[in-house]
Amino acid sequence: MATQALLLLLLLLPPSSSSSSSSRMSSGKVDCVIVDEQDVGQGGATGAMAGLLHPLTPRGKKLWKGDEGMEATRRLLRVAQQFSEEEVFFNGEGRGILRVVTKGKKQLEDYKKSAAMFPAEVELKEVDQSEYRGPSENVSHALLVKSGMAVRGPVYARALLRACQSLGNVTWRRERVESLAQLDLQQADELVRETEGL
């Protein structure tokens, strides 16, 4: 079955196949081939990035390990920025993002609770209708996530690929994959797959 979003990472064995996987990985003698139907950041798995980065659920609760994930991603973004002439961030790092209340009173109550529980991290704001330019109408409140960031997904994906390529043999292969049998996996030591329905 064909899939629209397919990302395959193939970690291939080095010429000497007698060494163990863990020693190959730690010695850095690993090739990585990324297979996707589209160019990096243009479609497939890397084109599906929403671009909003924050440690909260849609209800305003903290995600498990959300702060750790934010910090790890922040480090990756800084590395990626070094490999991009374009700005990776939409609004600069650390300016925050607004999560607009679009689902009524329940969502507003959830955001009020979040603001009370995490006052250093989030703040409930009234939305000035004259300044609001979003898709929803009659918006009255939004949750300001102070650590939130808006990221240019395609720019980030391309820059992160260049950063990875600077560290070793990483290649991007444009190919439509309808079945894993289509790929030569004879030399593949490890296969990591992210897909919709394959």
Per-residue pLDDT of 4-47, as tens digits, reads 333 344 333 333 343 344 444 445 556 777 778 888 878 777 77
List pLDDT tens digits, range 47-56.
777 788 899 9
| Across 74-88, 153-167, 168-182, least confident range | 168-182
Write down the pLDDT at residue 174: 81
Q: What percent of the chain has pLDDT over 90?
A: 26
Contact (CB, 8 A) for 49 and 32 = no
Tell me the domain boundaries of the chain. 1-51+161-198
CA-closest candidate to residue 148, choices 95, 75, 78? 95
Rounded CA-CA distance 131/1 in Å is: 47
Question: What is the pTM for the complete model shown?
Answer: 0.70
Would you tell me how many other CB atoms lie within 10 Å of the CB of residue 57?
A: 13
Strand, coil or helix: what is 47? helix
